[in-house]
Amino acid sequence: MKRIFLALFILSLTSGFAFAQSTVAKYGNDFLSTGAGARALGMGSAHSALTSDVTSGYWNVAGLSSLNTPELIYMHSERFGGIVGYDYGAAAMPLSSGKGVIGVSFFRQGVDNIANTLNAWDKDRGPNGGPKEDPEAYITKFSAADMAFFISYARQHSELLSYGASVKIINQRLGPFANAWGYSLDVGVQYKTDIADLGASIQDVTTMQKMWTVNEDEFEGFEEAFGDSIPTGQNEFVLPSVRLGASKTFSVSDFDFVTALDLNLLFENRRAYYLNISRMSIEPHVGAEATYKNRISLRAGLTDFIDDPESGFTVSPTLGLGFRVSTFYIDYGFASFAGTSSNLGYTHRISLKFKL
């Protein structure tokens, strides 16, 4: 434990030093808000107290401590008519010593096959410049992608209390033009009571540091052709955020029922949600699940509680379905079909989980 606290102190110290030299990255890690696993999406992303499988590396790392066998999961999602792809994969396994569970998680959100037309423009063609002859021969393709890699560890302190931490590495890449590396630490706890199970996690507890670099060679001739200066790299930081949750599980005959509530506390002065206190935005998530004989599950939830000056207060419902076949779990989630978020198109997610 002393080593853990020492590591946290050192990371906090270096983060504080970089804080003074960086700018605020509002929505800096928002690509991770897509989440992990279709089950959680169907329940409105209310998962921090409930999570107890391989997806815990994202929702609340303390939940990994509940694993007693290795697990694998993969999820694919598309948004905006298939333009933006999102892939998530994770693996977790208990240590042979019986002292905890380790896991790794990978996330990628990207837009691929973007046309790079910089080399297809001839500044000397005509008074204002123009495309080169046969411009398609000069057009190349690139991808804009956000990626994250988590290394997680969790263990049970007692039958009631568990805790864990994840080292988080971020890479954001804009083709060959620019990329950023960042790092931080997530921590989480879960506690069981007679009334409900409780969960709390802090994302980027050390403050996420992101360092951007620009490949100036890729912008050769940019200033002369377009009259704009070449972008420069800079350091950014992402403030910590808090996820609090509670869940209740009970059974009736052959059915198991779960209800869950999460509150995400964001400190970036977003003011994009219904509940705001000074610079803090409160993002609620509500979910429920009914499972028959541990084979088939129906889910529903509420998320995106938004108070818009033009459209007023809106909320987005979610739906989900899950099947268990032997040691395979197939989950489907459907969201963004109502409320303000529906303007961005429907969201479908399918995930496949396997217990070894």
Which residue(s) pair with 280 in the sheet?
A: 277
Burial 119-139 (b: 16+ CB within 10 A, else e): bbbeeeeeeeeeeeeeeeebe
In the structure encoding, which two tokens stand for residue 350, read together? 């399918």
Chain segment 303-344, per-residue pLDDT in tens = 988 777 676 778 889 999 999 998 999 999 988 765 555 555
281 phi, psi to nearest 5 deg? -105, 135
Statement: residue 18 has pLDDT above 60: no
Which range among 120-124, 267-271, 349-353 has the greatest average pLDDT?
Answer: 349-353
Q: Which of 201 and 27 is assigned the larger pLDDT?
A: 201
pLDDT at 299 over 90: yes
Name which of 77-86, 148-157, 185-194, 344-353 the model is least confident about: 77-86
pLDDT grade for 7, boundaries at 50, 70 and 90: very low
Q: Which helix (H) or strand (E) holds 138?
A: none
Q: What is the mean pLDDT of the chain?
A: 82
pLDDT for 16: 40
Q: Which of 51, 48, 50, 96 is nearest to 70 (CA)?
A: 96
Greater pLDDT, 349 or 299: 299
CA distance 238 to 326: 42
Give the Å distances, CA to CA, from 280 to 23, 52, 148, 242.
18, 28, 25, 11
Better-scored residue on pLDDT, 138 or 243: 243
Helix (H) or strand (E) holding 192: strand 178-192
**What's the pLDDT score for residue 245?**
96
- Digit-coded pLDDT (tens) for 245-285: 999 999 999 999 999 999 999 888 776 667 788 888 889 99
Residues 6+ apart with CB under 8 A from 190: 49, 60, 62, 63, 65, 161, 162, 163, 197, 198, 199, 200
* pLDDT at residue 231, rounded to an integer: 64
Q: Which residues contact 248 (CB under 8 A, 6 or more apart)?
A: 195, 196, 197, 258, 259, 260
Which helix (H) or strand (E) element contains residue 175? none
Cα–Cα distance, 323 to 300 (Å, whole number) = 15
Q: How confident is the model at residue 85 (pLDDT cuts 50, 70, 90)?
A: confident
pLDDT at 71: 96
Structure tokens, 209 = 């540091």
Question: In terms of pLDDT, which residue wins out, 289 or 15?
Answer: 289
Q: How many CB atoms lie within 10 A of CB 337?
A: 15
Q: What is the pLDDT of residues 131-185, one digit of tens each?
A: 777 777 767 777 788 999 999 999 999 999 999 999 999 998 888 888 889 999 9
Q: Are 35 and 287 in contact (CB under 8 A)?
A: no
**CATH numbers and ranges of domains, the chain:** 2-355 (2.40.160.40)
Q: How confident is the model at residue 237 (pLDDT cuts 50, 70, 90)?
A: confident
Tokens at residue 207, please? 């403050």
pLDDT by residue (tens digit) across 53-82?
999 999 999 999 999 999 999 998 877 666
